[in-house]
Amino acid sequence: MSMEVFCGIDWAGDHHDVALVDRDGQLLARRRISDDAAGLAKLLDLLAEHGDSAEEPVPVAIETPRGLLVACLRAAGRKVYPINPMAVARYRDRHSIAGRKSDTGDSIVLANVLRTDSHVHRPLPDDSELAQAIAVLARAQQDAVWARTQAHNKLRSHLREYFPGFLAAFAAARGGIMRPEARTILAAAPTPGAAAALTLSQLRALLRRAGRSRGIDAEAIRLRGALRVRQMRQLPLVEQAMGRQALALLRQLDAACAAADDLEHATIESFNQHPDAGIITSFPGLGPIAGARVLAETGDDRSRFSDAKGLKAYAGAAPITRASGKTRSVTHRRVKNNRLAAVGYTWAFAALTASPGARAHYHRRRDAGDRHAAAQRNLFSRLPGCLHHCLATGQHYDEATAFPASTRKLPHAA
């Protein structure tokens, strides 16, 4: 049975414009609803008046894939099509070449997008509740990591201007000034003068407060010597002012580190409960956090990607061809899921040491003339295809199947 009614919603912060059209493009109804439970009830009543039912729900086109309205429509089992605003702008030109624009007009455009081209647009996947929760946590954790990196870079740049000795004291330590002991010592002594005045007993106490339990005496002696090394200094009042600024930046870094750690634990806990976790983490280079990020962006709706090509294109791992006349070029894909592409880079890089087949594939591409980035993209293009197959068949990763023996031999060792 073909769909007879299509709904378009122009989303806004406090209200939404709704339009319904039939299969011939005739406007059936339009209404403005509020962004609350009462507005949702009005929308559902409007849809019910025009034939909406549990067996044949009216599909909805909207310009955003998130929000309470979208979540409620998805929970009812309705197909929700998120349409890119740039695509809506192109469709708008089909209805008005004069450049006219209004919220009501955009809702009609969105409804007509489904009426004419629903087959070329992808509805939001029917992911499980657990998969959606993992997506929230994994994306939040990734954002927290990026915020932590930004806060670290700001503090590090500031310390270079007045306290380079502190950076040198923790340069060889893994994590640098993001380590708990570095942040604890900086909080207690934010200027070169205050740091040089720290005694061994004070340094030992600060290291214990930061959670260190071994090698405290040796580390305290090392830090006392490093913090007392002669260095260039700012004027006293300027140094004090810059120390106060460092404390403000340090509080931002502390908050970002705490948020990233808390979300990491929550993400891993939720991810380990998902039935696909074992399959995903069986791949070389995918631990719980990277695996959770992959699951967050791909979901667990098996109908979302009909084949491996769709998943590769979504991840940005499939090249794109541009041809016009006698000109033809093949380049890497720029329009993609940026979060999945970001984790794909670290996935492929980690696979180089975890998988002999992946490393051989990388070296084979390098010997063929590819640069590092191109060779790594080529390697990544194989991994989503393997993941799609394993998830579809319920199998764990198998090195011999992914990279047969004939391809696992390093080219220069042949």
265 in the same domain as 140: yes
Residue 323 in 3-state DSSP? Answer: strand
Q: Which residue, among 147, 139, 134, has the nearest Cα to 258 in the 3D structure?
A: 147
> What pLDDT shows up at residue 226?
93
Distance CA 185, CA 200 (A): 12
265 in the same domain as 137: yes
Containing structural domain, residue 359: 278-413
Distance CA 166, CA 191 (A): 9
344 in the same domain as 309: yes
> What pLDDT shows up at residue 1?
39
What is the block-wise mean pLDDT of the chain (414 residues), using blocks of 10 residues?
Answer: 80 89 90 91 91 87 90 87 88 74 87 89 90 95 95 96 94 91 96 94 95 93 94 93 97 96 97 96 94 94 88 86 84 84 92 92 92 89 91 92 69 50
203 in the same domain as 166: yes
Distance CA 13, CA 1 (A): 36
26 in the same domain as 78: yes
304's tokens: 């979302």
225 in the same domain as 309: no
Distance CA 279, CA 82 (A): 29
Distances (CA, A) of 140 to 14, 31, 65, 143, 311: 24, 35, 16, 5, 23
The model carries a pTM of 0.85
316 in the same domain as 206: no
Number of domains in the chain: 3
151 in the same domain as 119: no
309 in the same domain as 205: no
